[in-house]
Amino acid sequence: MRLIGVDTPESVDPRRPVEFFGKEASAFTRRLVDGERVRLRTDRYGRTLAYVHLADGTFLNAEIIQQGYGHAYTRFPFKYLDEFRQFQREARQAGRGLWGAAPEAERRVASAAPSPASSGLPAALARWDDNRNGRITCAEARRHGIAPVPRGHPAYRYMRDGDGDGVVCE
């Protein structure tokens, strides 16, 4: 099942590495729904896309974005698109969840000494620099599943935030 309008960092796909804040987002969602009765609403085409409402009235899709554990997925229109965009802006401005400071392990990776590899990036980040130019492009970030990239992410400092809003590759 997919949550309509929500894009959380990858944490379970065996073909891909766990993305920045993926474990935290997964644990947050699990804490909210574990042992709870939920009401699912599928989209108008009957696909396994859902709006999830908890018994206490919490709208799970919105709560994940409001608390910063996921992004508003805006590629396709949906009923709550404008609200989710606003929730994401508010979470980002407040520094909640993935918009806040990076976990200690991520800060260590970001501050690691540069690798002798030709890209000039720290070894832990060079895997995202496909063209080995010492920068990470949005195309590379999307290809590796790390886009959009918030300010706390270790790749952020090797990218260009043209509008200065703290997020690259929106």
Active-site annotation, residues:
2, 10, 47
For the stretch 35-44, contacts whose Cβ atoms lie closer than 8 Å and that sit 24 or more positions apart, written own/partner, are: 40/1, 43/4, 43/78
Task: Supply φ then ψ for residue 37, to 5 degrees.
Answer: -85, 135
The sign of the torsion formed by the CA atoms of 122, 125, 127, 132 equals negative
Nearby residues of 67 by Cβ (< 8 Å), 6 or more positions away: 28, 91, 96, 97
155 close to 128: Cβ distance less than 8 angstroms: yes
Pairwise CA distance, residues 170 & 167, whole Å: 7
| 52 and 42 Cβ atoms separated by less than 8 Å | no
With vertex at residue 161, the alpha carbon angle to CA 159 and CA 162, rounded to the nearest 5 degrees, is 125
